[in-house]
Structure 1
Amino acid sequence: MSTERLIVDDAVADSLIERIEKRRAALRLGDPVRDGTDVGPVVSKAAAERLSGMISDAVSKGARLVGGGHVRDAFVEPTLLDGVERGMRLYQEEVFGPVLSVTRVAGVAEALTVVNDSEYGLAVSVFCADTARARALVHQVHSGICHINRATIDDNPHAPFGGVKSSGYGRFGGRWAINEFTELRWVSRTISSD
């Protein structure tokens, strides 16, 4: 559910990237058991190498490395890339690591096209000053979970958790789990007249 890609209106992209980069640069990579560590290793060295390849692929195809990008063993420095577009692995694949990509768009219609141009659809957040407009947009987003002006990470055990497309099958959490994890059967019998 972590945010891997931002789809941002070009009119506000520079300002947003500047603010994110300031926070990204302050994150400390290291041993997660030590005080002060913000980001630990990814699951394996192979996972780190995969992320390094995704970053290199994006940069080689025109994305701008704003900050981060260094990989050592299973440690991946928190990374921010701007200008990620279709045809780049970061645009098409799930990341599973501390890499955030920005895809710039020219308005709401293009944003909807880009957000739905993915085989994945677990969690999405729509940020908009006009919440009525945001509510109208969420009905056009193909995802299992959609938040308005909130982070994509929200694990509420009473809510139906699950994605669409290649991001999951069914829902769990709350009463929805009963339907997903049980199988309904119809059993009948003949009643004797005795």
Structure 2
Amino acid sequence: MDQDKKVYGLFIDGQWVTTGTTIPVLDKFSGKVYAHVAQAEQAHVTKAVDAAQLALKTPLPAWRRSAILQQTAERLTVNKEKLGELIAIEAGKPLKDAIAEVGRAAETLRLSANEAMALTGEAVPVHAFPGSENRLAFTLRVPLGVVCAISPFNFPLNLLCHKVGPALAAGNAIVAKPASATPLIALKLAEYLAEAGLPAGWFHVLFGAGSTVGEWLLDEPRFAAYSFTGSYAVGLHIRQRVGLRKSTMELGSNSATIIHHDADLDGAARQCARMAFANAGQVCISVQRILVHRFVFNEFVEKLAAQTGELIIGDPKNPHTDVGPMINQKEAERVVAWVEQAVDDGARLVMGGTRQGALVQPTILTHVHPKMPVWCEEIFGPVVSVAAYDYLEEAIDKVNDSAYGLQAGVFTRSIDVALSCAKQLEVGGVIINDVSTYRADNMPYGGVKNSGTGREGPHYAVQELTETRVVVFNHR
């Protein structure tokens, strides 16, 4: 890639490929064009899959896959400040969070490297069955083949690594379609993988709209699996199109956090303020709904507003900024419209609710009702709604009264309350004494209901991206 020209190609079969059409990449804070990337045509999808299938004919041994991932992780670590600056520009993510994302991505690849060296099957005691006394059986974990990875704009590096790392660790080849809004960091990953020794054909990067390139990817019958992170509507469409082929779907949520009357209110308010507005609320497990015991409701809202008021809002390239712009002005307009509708319908605006361009002020609402979109749908913006409850069972019911179920947080000093929530909350993860937004990259991550299917986290994703093959010996 030539940084000076600021025009970037697709990455296909180890080569940079230019096309007749380009997509502008904007600096999300200034709104100015920062670079252009090539837009894929249908022939590029075919070419990428052809090359991926050819690469699979010469499998990479586990030690080599592990070494490539480890070396790529090292490159990310060495260049984390520069890469963080790139994410801050093209995603609008505050610089300190962008640099942290690079660190997480490196760890995701290291975890994936470890999984490449630990793929194993198990013995199956078929000899215990009458007539099988002389048989020996065991299982193998075998790669699926060519994997299609479709990743979002909000964590443009780490969420791509959560697809690429485990897929490579398992021995698959990958064709990736990162979000067109944040394509440049994906090309840096392709560059680093190649420098680390990944042969041509094993990783490809295509750009384009879901209505064109996305549909061509779904039309391609040679993909063995799809890994997607994005909206419920698109995830459902993919599942309907790909049929019986494997798919992992990490979809949306309107994640809730419960603040019980015995909670550390200062700590809870601090964490809720930070994670309701991190990345301008554009996080699948962002704190969108807070349920607070009525005994401490007013006190908590005051503390939450005070903590929120200390956040620094502005240019994401400023190392002190806490909240940057949303991905584009259209999304910012939608979020403010939802807030205004909620206020018109009776919600109380504690703070925020305005915008300048794509920069939306952190917004706190109270007195919301369950049918308001700010409560029952995924807002995916810097807005949090706070409601009161009288009994724990009521809070649990309100959390579960959702089409989504990704993660939930619970602040309490009571083991009984914590365990009751862990057992009864209908989500993929229950986080005790922290917010719903907590995620370590080695934990199983995924949801229930409309929040998706399957689990990410390298150990768990490798299982999703391999098949169990049983081998039976009849030794006479």
TM-score normalised by L of structure 1: 0.90
Pick aligned residue for 1:77 from 361, 364, 377: 361
Q: What are the superposed Cα offsets for residues 138-167 of structure 1, whole Å, 9 maximum, x if unpaired? A: 210000011111122222222111111111
Pick aligned residue for 1:105 from 372, 389, 402: 389
The alignment status of 1:138 with 2:422, answered yes or no, reads yes
SS at match of 2:424: coil
Higher helix share: 2
**Is contact 1:126–1:138 with CA below 8 Å preserved after alignment?**
no
Q: Distance in 2 between matches of 1:70 and 1:64?
A: 14
Structure 2, unaligned runs of 5 or more: 1-284
Q: Distance in 1 between matches of 2:398 and 2:436?
A: 17
**Is contact 1:41–1:76 with CA below 8 Å preserved after alignment?**
yes
SS at match of 1:125: strand
The alignment status of 1:5 with 2:289, answered yes or no, reads yes
Cα separation, partners in 2 of 1:178 and 1:36, compared to 1, 3 Å:
closer
SS at match of 2:338: helix
Q: Distance in 2 between matches of 1:153 and 1:49?
A: 24
**Is contact 2:410–2:435 with CA below 8 Å preserved after alignment?**
no
Of the structure 1 ranges 129-138 and 57-66, higher mean CA displacement relative to structure 2 is found in: 129-138
**Is contact 1:135–1:148 with CA below 8 Å preserved after alignment?**
no
SS at match of 2:385: strand
% identical aligned pairs: 38
Pick aligned residue for 1:66 from 350, 354, 364: 350
What amino acid does structure 1 have at the position aligned with 2:334? R
Q: Which residue of 2 aligns with 1:45?
A: 329
Q: What are the superposed Cα offsets for residues 39-64 of structure 1, whole Å, 9 maximum, x if unpaired? A: 10011111101111110121111110
Q: Which residue of 1 aligns with 2:237?
A: none
Q: Which residue of 1 aligns with 2:465?
A: 181
- Post-superposition offset of 1:186: 5.7
Q: Distance in 2 between matches of 1:40 and 1:135?
A: 36
Q: What are the superposed Cα offsets for residues 52-100 of structure 1, whole Å, 9 maximum, x if unpaired? A: 1110121111110001111121110011111121111111111211111
Q: Distance in 2 between matches of 1:70 and 1:185?
A: 56
TM-score normalised by L of structure 2: 0.38
What number of residue pairs does the alignment pair up? 191
Q: Distance in 1 between matches of 2:464 and 2:338?
A: 35
What amino acid does structure 1 have at the position aligned with 2:411? F
SS at match of 1:52: helix
What amino acid does structure 1 have at the position aligned with 2:303? R
Pick aligned residue for 1:124 from 387, 408, 412: 408
**Is contact 2:421–2:430 with CA below 8 Å preserved after alignment?**
no
Structure 1, unaligned runs of 5 or more: none
Q: Distance in 2 between matches of 1:131 and 1:76?
A: 38
Q: Distance in 1 between matches of 2:458 and 2:417?
A: 29
Q: Distance in 2 between matches of 1:67 and 1:172?
A: 36
Pick aligned residue for 1:23 from 291, 307, 330: 307
What amino acid does structure 1 have at the position aligned with 2:465? F
Q: Which residue of 1 aligns with 2:443?
A: 159
- Post-superposition offset of 1:178: 2.2
What amino acid does structure 2 have at the position aligned with 1:68? G
What amino acid does structure 2 have at the position aligned with 1:11? F
- Post-superposition offset of 1:35: 3.8
**Is contact 2:373–2:379 with CA below 8 Å preserved after alignment?**
no
SS at match of 2:453: coil
What amino acid does structure 2 have at the position aligned with 1:181? L
- Post-superposition offset of 1:187: 7.7
Q: Distance in 2 between matches of 1:82 and 1:177?
A: 39
Q: Distance in 1 between matches of 2:384 and 2:462?
A: 35
